[in-house]
């Protein structure tokens, strides 16, 4: 029972905040529905009045106030007074949407909460977080599968969590989630697609290149995104060729350029085999086309197809 407690659920990751609030709700009472206040139309005073109103009642109450950042400083002192003597029949949860950094705004004049931090994990900690979620599903996961999952989902924890639940169901009685499972089940891997498209362009296979591009382009912004991604990959290949010429070890090249392990072999093969002059000409053509797309009106899809044809025609 959490009656009489006051919590601050704070951080920039909504998925973690939702999980934390749901856990409080379950621990407090599964039968009680929370009374929710929003800072854009209710003041913290009204939420505190609701907490105090339970003095005359036998039942417990869960109060949730969303928007700690919008509480005026003078009202935080009122909140502190309540925290010092809370209603023993009520549990108050205040949600803050900003990244939690102690002693920094909006947390610099922080009342005496029990704080539950819900910050979005930094990129280097995502793999740890994924392993934890996978373990909760009684599964394990390959390192390359983790990298592919991050490439597909980014740092969106809800998308990652949903993907892990799908993968856990997909593999059934098996215990290990592999790279193959991720590639089969979880959506479009933009980076992996760009590598394959570049392969076909440098093989001068126009039909295969157009086929790959058409599979991932459903709207205008996809064209700009794909041009940017191809350019980004080619620039990394160009840099890798310079590093190879200076005898920089493979593992250091991959580390410097931020290449995922599951793409390492494909990337290094491209860096080692593609002609440097052709890579440079392709980068220039992509830059020119991107500028034309953004400054001149036209049929973007047909112009993009023409770009693919020109890239495949480079010597």
Same domain, yes or no, for 181 and 200?
no
Same domain, yes or no, for 199 and 276?
yes
CA distance 215 to 188: 10
Same domain, yes or no, for 222 and 299?
yes
The residue from 67, 93, 117 where one domain ends is 117
Residue 167 lies in a domain: yes
10-residue stretch averages of pLDDT, the chain, 315 residues long: 83 91 86 86 89 65 91 87 88 93 85 88 86 92 90 82 89 90 77 84 90 74 78 91 92 86 86 91 88 75 86 88
Contact in structure between 129 and 156 (CB atoms under 8 Å): no
For the record, the structure tokens of 51 come out as 């907490």
Contact in structure between 97 and 132 (CB atoms under 8 Å): no
Greatest C-alpha distance within the chain: 84
CA distance 281 to 35: 62
CA distance 231 to 131: 32
The residue from 88, 117, 146 where one domain ends is 117
Residue 195 lies in a domain: yes
Same domain, yes or no, for 162 and 209?
no
For the record, the structure tokens of 195 come out as 């590598």
| Contact residues for 268 (Cβ-Cβ < 8 A; gap 6+) | 240, 250, 253, 254
CA distance 80 to 129: 34
Same domain, yes or no, for 157 and 94?
no
Domain containing 288 equals: 190-312
Same domain, yes or no, for 158 and 219?
no
For the record, the structure tokens of 91 come out as 């549990």
CA distance 68 to 170: 40
Same domain, yes or no, for 22 and 51?
yes
pLDDT recorded at residue 66? 94
Domain count, the chain: 3
Buried b (16+ CB within 10 A) or exposed e, 93-127: bbbbbeebeeeeebbeebbebebbbbebeeeeebb
Q: What are phi and psi of 63, to 5 degrees?
A: -110, 130
Residue 1 lies in a domain: no
What is the sign, positive or negative, of the torsion defined by CA atoms of 240, 244, 247, 249?
Answer: positive
Residue 82 lies in a domain: yes
Contact in structure between 3 and 60 (CB atoms under 8 Å): yes
Residue 51 lies in a domain: yes
pLDDT recorded at residue 177? 95
Same domain, yes or no, for 76 and 131?
no
Residue 79 lies in a domain: yes
pLDDT recorded at residue 122? 82
Residue 86 lies in a domain: yes
Q: Using N-to-C axis directions, what is the helix angle for 206-216 and 300-312, rounded to 10°?
A: 150
Same domain, yes or no, for 37 and 127?
no
Contact in structure between 119 and 149 (CB atoms under 8 Å): no
Same domain, yes or no, for 302 and 204?
yes
The residue from 117, 138, 173 where one domain ends is 117
Contact in structure between 231 and 191 (CB atoms under 8 Å): no
pLDDT recorded at residue 123? 77
Same domain, yes or no, for 35 and 48?
yes
CATH number at residue 240: 1.20.272.10
- Element containing residue 277 per DSSP (H, E): helix 276-295
Same domain, yes or no, for 159 and 174?
yes
pLDDT recorded at residue 116? 94
Q: What are phi and psi of 92, to 5 degrees?
A: -110, 125
This prediction has a pTM of 0.61
């Amino acid at each position: 029972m959490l009656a009489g407690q006051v919590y601050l659920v704070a951080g920039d990751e909504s998925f973690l905040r939702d999980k934390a609030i749901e856990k409080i709700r379950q621990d407090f009472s599964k039968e009680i529905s929370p009374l929710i206040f929003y800072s854009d139309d209710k003041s913290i005073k009204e939420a505190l009045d609701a907490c105090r109103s339970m003095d005359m009642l036998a039942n417990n109450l869960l109060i949730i106030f969303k928007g700690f950042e919008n509480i005026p400083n003078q009202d935080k002192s009122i909140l502190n007074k309540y925290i010092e003597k809370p209603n023993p029949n009520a549990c108050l949860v205040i949600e803050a949407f900003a990244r939690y950094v102690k002693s920094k705004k909006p947390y610099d004049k922080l009342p005496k909460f029990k704080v539950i931090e819900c910050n979005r994990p930094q990129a280097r900690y995502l793999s740890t977080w994924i392993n934890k979620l996978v373990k909760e599903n009684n599964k394990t996961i390959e390192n390359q599968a983790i990298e592919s999952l991050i490439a597909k989902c980014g740092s969106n924890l809800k998308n990652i969590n949903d993907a892990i639940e799908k993968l856990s169901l997909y593999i059934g009685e098996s215990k290990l989630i592999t790279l193959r499972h991720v590639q089969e089940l979880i959506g479009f891997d933009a980076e992996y697609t760009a590598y394959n498209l570049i392969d076909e362009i440098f093989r001068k296979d126009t039909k295969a290149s157009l086929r790959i591009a058409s599979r991932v382009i459903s709207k205008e912004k996809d064209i700009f995104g794909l041009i940017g991604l191809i350019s980004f990959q080619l620039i990394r290949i160009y840099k890798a060729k310079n590093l190879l010429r200076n005898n920089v070890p493979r593992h250091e090249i991959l580390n410097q350029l931020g290449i995922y392990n599951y793409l390492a072999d494909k990337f290094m093969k491209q860096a080692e085999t593609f002609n440097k002059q052709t890579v440079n000409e392709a980068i220039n053509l992509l830059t020119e086309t991107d500028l034309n797309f953004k400054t001149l009106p036209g049929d973007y899809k047909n112009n993009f197809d023409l770009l693919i044809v020109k890239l495949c025609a480079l010597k």
